[in-house]
Amino acid sequence: AQTVTQSQPEMSVQEAETVTLSCTYDTSENNYYLFWYKQPPSRQMILVIRQEAYKQQNATENRFSVNFQKAAKSFSLKISDSQLGDTAMYFCAFMRWRSQGNLIFGKGTKLSVKP
């Protein structure tokens, strides 16, 4: 069974600085996908970024980028130029290839951006 581990329950960062959230996963599969979701205080889950395991290039979306290390089974999220609106729970998620959308979530990291 696949598992997703987020080892940092809480983190804080000053506005405009950079922060990295950690995620590791355990799988014997070779084909899979990884995601970071954000859940702000409103509790509306929003996809931040996604990565296909077969792609070596790390995904980026504006201020958000990932460091995908397939051999180490690591998938960290870097947020640059942090903004107050980035304050949220961040969940790392794993999806096996052809698993019909069955996402496996980590327990989340609560990020606070301080002015």
Partner 1 sequence: DGGITQSPKYLFRKEGQNVTLSCEQNLNHDAMYWYRQDPGQGLRLIYYSQIVNDFQKGDIAEGYSVSREKKESFPLTVTSAQKNPTAFYLCASSLQRGTVDEGEQYFGPGTRLTVT
At residue 57, what is the residue type? Q
- Is residue 11 a contact residue for partner 1 (CB under 8 A)? no
**Span from 16-24, 63-71, 78-86, 90-98 in contact with partner 1 (CB under 8 A):** 90-98
- Is residue 43 a contact residue for partner 1 (CB under 8 A)? yes
How many whole angstroms separate alpha carbon 68 and alpha carbon 72? 9
CB 37 within 8 A of CB 21: no
Q: Contact with partner 1 (CB under 8 A): which of 45, 73, 76, 78? A: 45
At residue 52, what is the residue type? E
- Is residue 25 a contact residue for partner 1 (CB under 8 A)? no
How many whole angstroms separate alpha carbon 41 and alpha carbon 102? 25
Residue with tokens 């899979």: 32
**Nearest approach, Cβ of residue 17 and partner 1 (Å):** 26
Note the residues at the interface with partner 1 (CB under 8 A).
4, 9, 33, 35, 42-47, 50, 52, 91, 93, 95, 98-103, 105-108
